[in-house]
Amino acid sequence: MTVNPNWNVLQSIIKSKNSFKGNPYKKYTDLESETFKQRIRAQENSESYSLLKTKEPNIVFVILESWSADNIETLGGLPGITPHFKKLEKDGLLFTDFYSNGWTSDQGMSSIFSSFPVFPYVAIINEIDKSRKLPCLNKSLKNYHSSFFYGGQLTFGNIKSYLISHGFDLVKDQQNYKDLSSGRLGVHDEHMFAQFKNELSRLPEPFISCLFTLSSHAPYDFPGEHKLSFNSKSDKYINSVAYTDKHFGAFMESLKDEDWYQNTLFIIVADHSHNSPRKWRVAQKERFKIPMLWYGEVLNEAYQGSFHSQMGSHIDINKSILSQLRIDGSNYEWGSDLFNTSIRPAIPYAFHRGYGIIRPNGYYAFSEDYQKILEYHVADSLEEKSLQKDAELYFQGAYKHYMDL
């Protein structure tokens, strides 16, 4: 989950300091910034193609703590870590170029459910007066019962307050599962998967429900084997992912006889990435690459066992779901429909004390701490200045949105 109370306090202090300065990203006129934003939105000039057999499926999120794409062999990752995820790929739609927008769990939640970009110093989820004004997927799905389950403490990162302020019908965490076997951070994943199955069986349809896993977070005191080794400091982490993968696979297999299963779309995605034996640099785009898999019998056969190569990130999930359900998603201002082929993707991302943008033609990252460009990779040298300007305009506009909330 990569957050703690002291971190939250520090973020609030830094946030206040930045607010007094106004928009720290302001470099261009407001007109230029707004024109850039409208240019991104104007690309959505055609309908997306349809993946689903049904108009009102249940939606189940499994948000995987700290899963890097380096754990997924099909995505070019290390072999043998997630064989059960690989088995699910054969019947699902795997996104092959997908990224987190930040590096902590709380950032991931507001990006996944509210499609809001991440900033280096400001976590909007810590400011309920602002975050409650954002759209949220459960609100867009007005006919759906909404729920969220976690084996740890949702007070970290202010996630619980965020979920409650957005009207989730049911929110449960470690306080509700004191009788289940736990480690230092909370209930081990194998027990939470079993509990989640029980919870899902009691929900009224249609529902949107989420399980946030826990065991692949330090201190990695999961009750499983440590048999994988890449001669790396990340070996404990790698084995924790393998442990979650094993019990996730058993969980998915156990659901097939449930009455609601055939009408359910599963969205399996990481909250953020993690260090791995690959040792990416702090702002390298590969450091932010994560798995996302859409799975379920509601997928049209043509998309089962296939790949989706269009670049995307957390902030694109909501608009993509809503477009499939033929629900207006225009209030998610920073996201794009992953199934609209007219889009030229722009993936904003933030890291500790810096920000960047990923485009199909390359990516750019800037350290605010050192006032230095850390990453600048383009396929065409003629587009160098354009890529940097895109990043600057994106964060100027997004931060203005944050200030105006």
Domain that holds residue 360: 5-46+346-404
Domain count, the chain: 2
In this predicted structure, what is the pLDDT of residue 381?
72
129 and 97 in a common domain: yes
How many whole angstroms separate alpha carbon 1 and alpha carbon 156?
8
How many whole angstroms separate alpha carbon 115 and alpha carbon 111?
4
Distances (CA, A) of 236 to 4, 195, 217, 242, 256: 21, 25, 10, 10, 32
Q: Does 354 reside within a domain?
A: yes
- The stretches of 22-144 forming alpha helices (DSSP H) are 30-42, 83-89, 105-114, 128-131, 137-140
172 and 70 in a common domain: yes
What's the mean per-residue pLDDT of the chain? 93
Q: Does 334 reside within a domain?
A: no
235 and 101 in a common domain: yes
89 and 162 in a common domain: yes
Whether pLDDT at 344 is above 80: yes
231 and 93 in a common domain: yes
In this predicted structure, what is the pLDDT of residue 45?
63
> For the chain, first and last CA: distance in Å?
26
350 contact partners, CB below 8 Å, separation of at least 6:
101, 102, 103, 107, 117, 118, 119, 120, 356
Q: What is the pTM of this model?
A: 0.94
DSSP 187: B
Whether pLDDT at 78 is above 50: yes
Query: Which of 53, 49, 57, 88 lies closest to 301 in space, CA to CA?
Result: 53
CB 52 within 8 A of CB 265: yes
Please report, for the domain that includes residue 262, its CATH number.
3.40.720.10
How many whole angstroms separate alpha carbon 217 and alpha carbon 241?
9
Query: Per-residue pLDDT tens for 14-56?
Result: 444 445 479 999 999 999 999 998 887 767 666 778 999 999 9
Query: For the chain, what is the total number of helices (H) and then of strands (E)?
Result: 11, 14
Query: Which of 261, 301, 199 lies closest to 59 in space, CA to CA?
Result: 261
Query: Per-residue pLDDT tens for 273-319?
Result: 999 999 999 999 999 999 999 999 999 999 999 999 999 999 999 99
Q: Does 331 reside within a domain?
A: no
